[in-house]
Amino acid sequence: MVLLQPKPRAVTALSMDDNTELLCMSSDIYNRMIEKAVKKDIQARVNYLQGFRIFKQLSVHQLEKLLYYLTPIDCMRGKVIYKIGDKPDGIFLVQSGAFEVSMPAGLDRIAEKESGNFIMDAGAKFRLLK
């Protein structure tokens, strides 16, 4: 933690054994390694976003800025992502895994009428294919 927030150490470390061995890494080397890992992660996320039609017109720099506004969410099996009646306040981009869209009987006909050009199966299931 001291390398992430470079403040003076708040505790004293004292060897309690006659033969204590430590491994030490300088903050410069640590920062270079973390920087590489972060850059690699950012590039992977930009590549992912470039796969969406809505983001095709954005530059790499714009996509990198967009990443600051995306929040990763891990969902366990059975977790409700959103439900009927919830106010839409954003979009979800599925990076991996699977989800199911369901609606009470009868609403599938309303969805068909409102959408105009597609029919939603009431028990539709989606799986991300790589």
pLDDT, one tens digit per residue, over 66-115 is: 988 988 888 888 888 888 888 988 888 888 888 888 776 655 555 555 55
Q: Over pLDDT 70: what percentage of the chain?
A: 75
pLDDT of 47 reads 93
Question: Whole-prediction pTM value?
Answer: 0.54
Amino acid (one-letter) located at 6: P
pLDDT in tens, 51-64: 999 899 999 999 99
Say if residues 75 and 81 touch (Cβ distance below 8 Å): yes
One-letter amino acid at 89 equals D
